[in-house]
């Protein structure tokens, strides 16, 4: 019976990770599309893509919290190595999340966003923050998907 519970928890965690990775991939794809529009000038295409990117970015951020961290915090994950790693990287993830929310607040403006003076530098900084966040998430994902030996 205990083996079945472990298998069910693992299946649940793998499903959650799949959702997280899908939203991450969508976000990075949209980021690349947006970066390819440099130099930025206010126009409908840029505003539309920027809006799409902000939505994707928030979806990814929420997915990470709800699919990964809440799963760990809920007690469904019992391996000490996963818990310890999650505890050690979570403060960095939280700081990255705050930057993402600030970026979204600044640029999630649909067709009325006209102040793009800092978009290039903000996107560069966001790219660095996302890269670090992804490395931290991937460490946790690796431990979650590693079979117990």
Q: Which two tokens stand for residue 46?
A: 């840029």
Residue 89 structural domain: 2-145
- What per-residue confidence (pLDDT) applies to 57? 97
For tokens 């991939």, the residue is 25
- What per-residue confidence (pLDDT) applies to 149? 44
Q: How many angstroms separate the CA atoms of 125 and 118, rounded?
A: 11
Average pLDDT over the chain, rounded to an integer: 87
Q: How far apart are the first and last CA of the chain?
A: 19
Tell me the pLDDT tens digit for each residue of 68-82. Answer: 788 777 777 788 898
With a cut of 90, say whether residue 61 has pLDDT above it: yes
The CATH number of whichever domain residue 132 belongs to comes to 1.20.120.1370
Question: Residues of the chain with pLDDT > 90: what percent?
Answer: 55
Report how many domains make up the chain: 1
Q: How many angstroms separate the CA atoms of 62 and 43, rounded?
A: 29
- What per-residue confidence (pLDDT) applies to 75? 76
Helix axes 80-107, 44-63, angle to 10 degrees: 160
- What per-residue confidence (pLDDT) applies to 17? 84
- What per-residue confidence (pLDDT) applies to 125? 98
Q: Which two tokens stand for residue 115?
A: 């102040």
Q: How many angstroms separate the CA atoms of 69 and 64, rounded?
A: 7
């Amino acid at each position: 019976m205990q083996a079945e519970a472990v298998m069910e928890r693992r299946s649940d965690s793998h499903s959650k990770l799949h959702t997280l990775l899908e939203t991450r991939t969508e976000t990075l794809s949209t980021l690349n599309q947006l970066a390819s529009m440099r130099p930025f000038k206010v126009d409908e295409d840029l505003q539309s893509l920027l809006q799409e990117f902000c939505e994707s970015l928030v979806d990814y951020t929420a997915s990470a919290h709800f699919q990964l961290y809440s799963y760990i915090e809920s007690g469904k994950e019992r391996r000490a190595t996963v818990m310890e790693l999650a505890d050690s990287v979570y403060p960095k993830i939280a700081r990255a999340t705050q930057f993402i929310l600030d970026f979204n607040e600044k640029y999630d403006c649909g067709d009325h966003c006209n102040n793009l003076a800092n978009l290039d530098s903000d996107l560069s900084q966001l790219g660095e923050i996302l890269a670090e966040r992804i490395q931290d998430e991937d460490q946790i994902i690796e431990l979650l998907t590693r079979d117990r030996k």
